[in-house]
């Protein structure tokens, strides 16, 4: 295992999270292009000298340091300022909706390739001409050479799946593994005269006539660099940097640096110090890089030690490589194996236990660790490469030479494993090997379990609410019943008070008759009185009586009072025909106190005879209106007469019946939750009192 050297990490003081797009040594200083502008290293500090957010790369033009942006702006860096080149405005129009991939400068001409948009743009400064050239438009990618400079780029709308190579008039095609359009590409000429082309995770090593080999890495390649010791470096997105120390692009002799950091740019200064620019992690400096020491692992390969060469036209596709078991395509004894290989799934281990290979597996949620062994059969003795995917977990294909594939801790769900094999001639299996897995969810995550659990919880909550509500209802019922009993007792007590009150007034009248030796009237009065007492006693324990019974009591009472006052008043009873007096019921002795009040305070003080009208009317089917109207002296005159009387007289004249009736109404409303109400109306004519009207509104059951 290689010994990892020590890196020095440098960061800009104003922003430690810059992205370093390019690094160059110029005039004995290290310059950096970042996402915020151009920085320079001075006295171990990285300081900003020019602010610009869109710069991408440096380029030397006639020994002058220049920079360009991804949108086509070119600048000369002069006195720490950006001086725009004169063709910028025209070039910007030509690059509308395009993004620059790379730029080279040769013989007073800028050659600009694009990632999106296609075509190669030529900026001829001598002839002051800008035009677009299409190279091998049927192919998605191209590599071409101008003088000693190489450039690669994309074509729009390609139809073929090959890389077009055009070097010094020699043209040929290299098959591609996947037709991935609009990808950033890199091309580099190595010191041995060979070339490397990369796009995303694939790197192809070739010379002027043929492909030498290709490798796949697990991360996108951002830049390729060869140092003074002929080591080749790959800068990887989220993969650090890989160093191929022997130039053969064999992963067994490669070293990985900087972990999973995103390395964007690499360069070497005159003192052989290596500089690595990252995105978000600053600059890493590897001083005086020594030849890495490593223990080479045993690599099983189908390659032959005999070195021969054949032209790459026999290679129609690629060999996908991901790790240290990667192979190099040896082109010495390759044959054109045009028959696609057949791929198999040999064994499947579930949680480490072998199983019989079947097309569909129904697994318990704890059976979620898979080990899949694959193999392929080719007509010739080709080294097979594989691409595989586990649909349901992965969205991109994995490329490998490994035949053992591992998946651990899979979540419950449906998965489909697919694998293809590819021979050395680039032919993929026509039919993949396919295995489907269904890992069931635990019982506690199933719909019916969750539904049942929620239902049970809701049922328990509802039961608790019901029991609490029921308990409260019972408690409230008991309280209401106790309250009802108390109110009924109070109502009975008030009715009991009313009866003695009425009896007292009546006996006073009888006493008056006896005192006057009017025995005939006294006997008649006692007869009426006995009937009234019997009716009153019968109603004492009743909460409601028929209107007919209440009217009879009122007639008996008014007859007694009429006799007592020597026929000083007459009375009228008016009952609407719609009222069923035998069926409809009202509280007993509710109207009598108001009739009594009309007689004692209205009629008795009047000069001459009076009239009392008692009427019963239906307001609606549930509400009865009872009116007690007299033509007495009125309330105002009665109050004046009370003020003129003595205190003792006023106390004796206070209507105890009215007071008791008000209390009865309040209790009755509380018991029945009803709205018994009373209106008192003073009757006047020309502002002279002519009587009083009492309106009682009594709810009917």
User: Where residue 434 sits, what CATH number does that domain have?
Assistant: 2.60.40.10
Q: Are residues 215 and 282 located together in one domain of the fold?
A: yes
Q: Which H or E run contains 498?
A: helix 447-515
Q: Are residues 160 and 301 located together in one domain of the fold?
A: yes
CATH of residue 60: 2.130.10.10
**pLDDT at residue 614, rounded to an integer:** 94
Q: Are residues 422 and 273 located together in one domain of the fold?
A: no
Better-predicted residue by pLDDT, 619 or 248: 619
Chain CA centroid to CA 334, Å: 57
Q: What is the mean pLDDT of residues 570-595?
A: 88
Q: Are residues 137 and 283 located together in one domain of the fold?
A: yes
Q: Are residues 490 and 414 located together in one domain of the fold?
A: no
What is the average pLDDT value for the chain, to the nearest integer? 81
Q: What is the mean pLDDT of residues 44-52?
A: 90
Residues 6+ apart with CB under 8 A from 678: 665, 694, 695, 696, 697
In a domain, residue 327? The reply is no
Q: Is the pLDDT of residue 95 over 50?
A: yes
Q: Is the pLDDT of residue 539 over 90?
A: no
pLDDT band at 495; cut points 50, 70, 90: low
Q: Is the pLDDT of residue 519 over 80?
A: no
In a domain, residue 219? The reply is yes
**pLDDT at residue 262, rounded to an integer:** 94
Q: Which of 610, 609, 626, 629 is nearest to 618 (CA)?
A: 626
CATH of residue 502: 3.30.565.10
**pLDDT at residue 48, rounded to an integer:** 92
pLDDT band at 314; cut points 50, 70, 90: very low
Q: Is 453 helix (H, G, I), strand (E, B) or coil?
A: helix
Backbone angles phi, psi at 4, to 5 degrees: -75, 125
Q: Is the pLDDT of residue 671 over 80?
A: no
Answer with the one of 414, 441, 468 that is the final residue of a domain.
441
**pLDDT at residue 308, rounded to an integer:** 36
Q: Which of 49, 45, 94 is nearest to 74 (CA)?
A: 94
**pLDDT at residue 359, rounded to an integer:** 92
In a domain, residue 337? The reply is no
The answer to whether 439 and 367 are in contact (CB under 8 A) is yes
- Burial of 325 (C-beta count, 10 Å sphere; 0-12/13-18/19+): middle
In a domain, residue 335? The reply is no
Q: Is the pLDDT of residue 342 over 50?
A: yes
Q: What is the mean pLDDT of residues 64-80?
A: 91
The answer to whether 467 and 623 are in contact (CB under 8 A) is no
Q: What is the mean pLDDT of residues 159-176?
A: 82
Q: Are residues 294 and 378 located together in one domain of the fold?
A: no
Q: Which residue has the tokens 């995105």?
A: 279
Q: Are residues 297 and 355 located together in one domain of the fold?
A: no
Q: Which residue has the tokens 């281990």?
A: 349
Q: Are residues 437 and 457 located together in one domain of the fold?
A: no
Q: Where are the beta strands (DSSP E) in 580-648?
A: 585-586, 610-620, 623-630
In a domain, residue 666? The reply is yes
Q: Which of 209-223, 383-397, 529-543, 648-662 has the highest mean pLDDT?
A: 383-397
pLDDT band at 487; cut points 50, 70, 90: low
**pLDDT at residue 335, rounded to an integer:** 43
Q: Are residues 424 and 460 located together in one domain of the fold?
A: no
Q: Is the pLDDT of residue 217 over 50?
A: yes
Please give the model's pTM, rounded to 2 decimal places: 0.52
Answer with the one of 441, 471, 499 that is the final residue of a domain.
441
Better-predicted residue by pLDDT, 261 or 483: 261
**Looking at the 3D structure of the chain, how many domains does it have?**
3
**pLDDT at residue 173, rounded to an integer:** 86
Q: Is the pLDDT of residue 397 over 80?
A: yes
Tens of pLDDT, residue by residue over 432-468, are 999 999 999 888 887 888 889 999 999 999 999 999 9
Backbone angles phi, psi at 636, to 5 degrees: -60, -45
d(CA 548, CA 583): 9
In a domain, residue 323? The reply is no
- Angle of helix 519-538 relative to helix 547-564, nearest 10 degrees? 160
Answer with the one of 408, 441, 474 that is the final residue of a domain.
441
Q: Which domain holds residue 613?
A: 452-699
Q: Are residues 50 and 178 located together in one domain of the fold?
A: yes
- Burial of 454 (C-beta count, 10 Å sphere; 0-12/13-18/19+): exposed
pLDDT band at 424; cut points 50, 70, 90: low
Chain CA centroid to CA 114, Å: 40
In a domain, residue 10? The reply is no
Q: Show the tokens assigned to 144.
A: 């071409």
Q: Is the pLDDT of residue 602 over 90?
A: no
**pLDDT at residue 181, rounded to an integer:** 63
Q: Show the tokens assigned to 265.
A: 């740019």
d(CA 526, CA 560): 9
Sign of the CA dihedral 536, 542, 546, 550? Answer: positive
Q: Are residues 544 and 415 located together in one domain of the fold?
A: no
pLDDT band at 175; cut points 50, 70, 90: confident
201 — alpha (psi -120 to 50), left (phi > 0) or beta? alpha
Q: What is the mean pLDDT of residues 204-212?
A: 85
Q: Are residues 120 and 33 located together in one domain of the fold?
A: yes
Tens of pLDDT, residue by residue over 120-149, are 899 998 888 998 888 888 888 888 888 888
In a domain, residue 683? The reply is yes
């Amino acid at each position: 295992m290689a010994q990892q050297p020590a890196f020095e990490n440098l960061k800009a003081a104003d922003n430690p999270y810059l992205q370093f797009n390019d690094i160059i040594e110029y005039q004995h200083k290290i310059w950096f292009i970042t996402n915020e502008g151009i920085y320079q290293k001075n006295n171990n500090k990285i300081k900003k000298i020019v602010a610009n957010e869109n710069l991408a790369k440096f380029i030397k033009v006639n020994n002058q340091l220049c920079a360009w942006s991804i949108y086509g702006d070119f600048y000369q860096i002069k006195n720490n300022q950006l001086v725009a080149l004169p063709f910028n405005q025209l070039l910007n129009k030509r690059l509308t909706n395009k993004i620059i991939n790379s730029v080279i400068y040769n013989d007073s001409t800028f050659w600009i390739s694009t990632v999106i948009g296609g075509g190669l743009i030529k900026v001829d400064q001598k002839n002051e001409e800008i035009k677009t050239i299409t190279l091998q438009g049927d192919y998605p990618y191209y590599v071409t050479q101008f003088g000693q400079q190489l450039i690669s780029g994309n074509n729009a709308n390609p139809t073929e799946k090959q890389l077009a190579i055009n070097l010094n008039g020699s043209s040929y095609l290299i098959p591609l593994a996947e037709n991935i359009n609009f990808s950033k590409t890199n091309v580099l000429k190595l010191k041995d005269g060979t070339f490397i082309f990369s796009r995303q995770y694939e790197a192809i090593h070739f010379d002027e006539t043929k492909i030498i080999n290709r490798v796949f890495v697990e991360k996108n390649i951002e830049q390729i660099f060869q140092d003074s010791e002929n080591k080749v470096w790959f800068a990887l997105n989220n993969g650090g940097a890989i160093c191929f120390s022997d130039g053969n692009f064999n992963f067994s002799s490669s070293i990985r640096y900087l972990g999973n950091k995103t390395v964007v740019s690499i360069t070497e200064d005159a003192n052989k110090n290596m500089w690595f620019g990252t995105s978000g992690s600053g600059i890493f400096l590897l001083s005086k890089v020594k030849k890495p020491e490593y223990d080479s692992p045993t690599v099983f390969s189908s390659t032959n030690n005999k070195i021969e060469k054949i032209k790459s036209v026999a290679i129609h596709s690629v060999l996908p490589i991901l790790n240290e078991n990667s192979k190099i395509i040896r082109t010495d004894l390759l044959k054109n194996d045009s028959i696609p290989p057949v791929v198999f799934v040999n064994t499947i281990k579930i949680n480490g236990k072998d199983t019989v290979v079947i097309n569909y597996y129904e697994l318990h949620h704890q059976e979620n660790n898979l080990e899949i062994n694959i193999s392929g059969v080719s007509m010739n003795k080709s080294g097979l490469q594989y691409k595989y995917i586990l649909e349901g977990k992965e969205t991109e294909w994995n490329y490998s030479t490994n035949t053992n594939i591992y998946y651990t801790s899979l979540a419950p769900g449906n998965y489909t494993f697919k694998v293809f094999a590819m021979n050395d001639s680039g032919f993929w299996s026509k039919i993949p090997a396919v295995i489907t897995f269904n890992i069931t969810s635990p019982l506690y995550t199933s719909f019916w379990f969750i539904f049942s659990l929620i239902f049970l919880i809701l049922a328990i909550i509802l039961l608790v609410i019901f029991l609490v509500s029921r308990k409260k209802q019972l408690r409230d019922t008991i309280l209401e019943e106790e309250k009802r009993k108390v109110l009924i007792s109070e109502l009975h007590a008030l009715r009991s008070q009313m009866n003695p009150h009425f009896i007292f007034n009546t006996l006073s009248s009888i006493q008056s008759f006896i005192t006057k030796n009017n025995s005939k009237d006294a006997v008649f009065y006692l007869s009426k009185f006995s009937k009234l007492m019997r009716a009153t006693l019968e109603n004492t324990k009743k909460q409601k009586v028929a209107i007919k019974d209440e009217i009879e009591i009122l007639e008996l009472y008014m007859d007694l009072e009429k006799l007592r006052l020597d026929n000083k008043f007459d009375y009228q009873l008016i009952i609407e025909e719609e009222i069923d007096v035998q069926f409809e019921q009202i509280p007993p002795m509710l109207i009598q106190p108001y009739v009594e009040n009309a007689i004692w305070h209205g009629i008795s003080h009047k000069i001459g005879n009076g009239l009392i009208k008692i009427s019963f009317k239906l307001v609606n089917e549930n509400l009865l209106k009872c009116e007690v109207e007299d033509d007495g002296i009125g309330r105002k005159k009665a109050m004046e007469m009370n003020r003129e009387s003595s205190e003792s007289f006023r106390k004796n004249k206070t209507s105890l019946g009215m007071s008791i009736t008000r209390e009865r109404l309040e209790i009755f409303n509380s018991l029945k939750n009803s709205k018994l109400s009373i209106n008192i109306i003073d009757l006047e004519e020309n502002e002279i009192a002519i009587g009083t009207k009492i309106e009682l509104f009594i709810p009917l059951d």
